[in-house]
Amino acid sequence: MDTLLGIVEAFVNFVYPPTCMTCWRDLKRGEAFICMKCWDSFERVSPTEAIIQAIERKFLIDETVDKIDAVFLFEQDPGVRTAVHLLKYGGAEKIADRFGILIAGKIVGDPKLSMCDMLAPVPLHPARKRERGYNQSELIAERLSGELGIRHEPDLLRRVRQTQSQTMFDAEGRRRNIAGAFSIAERFTSEVKGKKILLIDDVITTGSTIKECAGVLRNNGASEVYGAAAAVTI
């Protein structure tokens, strides 16, 4: 069956060569959905004073999360939005792999983020995960874990309550919508004490989701909680 699918795919690729979803040039061998030129051109979170301050003001001021980093700016670049969209609808593994590699490259020299004890994705509600078939943040975390050699615990946190889509709310609405949505898996309650934990999300928008997750980990004794994402809105 795999071979047959392979032959069909090769034929389809021959007749209709796959094109980049953001610039529509033909993809080269080894590229998937988005060409390397586009990946290289996407708007990055560069460590300028203005960006560092914007991240501190928006996400770190209440000290629930100790440090946040991301690779791309979400709002500023339609190509980044396309990549994130593909992550949820169609290109999950290939796009998640690329994001995992890029996050690893960004944080590998960071003494905090790259030296944590374990990393964990922001969880989806089980019903949502079943519907989609996977948790995109978990796929990113899996690749990142392999790149950095940090333990990955995909079941560390659980989403215990279904929430409405965060896109419907402003910052305060998002905070209320997500409050109490997460809990720690019982077998980790003693294990997270004194640990440094890196939370992984696809996009950090207002920070309310990652802060809610971080709060649960802190309440269970985690010493430091960081966040890393493919993209961020600042």
Residues that bind Zn ion (CB under 5 A): 20, 23, 35, 38
Cα–Cα dist 128/144, whole Å: 23
- In terms of CB distance, is 20 or 113 closer to Zn ion? 20
Q: How much is the CA Rg of the chain, to the nearest whole Å? A: 18
- In terms of CB distance, is 20 or 225 closer to Zn ion? 20
CB atoms within 10 A of CB 17: 10
- In terms of CB distance, is 28 or 187 closer to Zn ion? 28
Q: Output the smallest distance, CB 38 to Zn ion, in A.
A: 3
Cα–Cα dist 66/141, whole Å: 19
Cα–Cα dist 81/85, whole Å: 6
Sign of the C-alpha dihedral, residues 74, 78, 79, 84?
positive
Q: Output the smallest distance, CB 76 to Zn ion, in A.
A: 17
- In terms of CB distance, is 19 or 164 closer to Zn ion? 19
Q: Output the smallest distance, CB 37 to Zn ion, in A.
A: 5
Q: Output the smallest distance, CB 39 to Zn ion, in A.
A: 8
Question: 122: Cβ–Cβ under 8 A, 6 or more apart, which residues?
Answer: 137, 157, 199, 200, 201, 209, 210, 213
Q: Output the smallest distance, CB 40 to Zn ion, in A.
A: 9
Check: CB of residue 206 under 8 Å from CB of residue 55. no
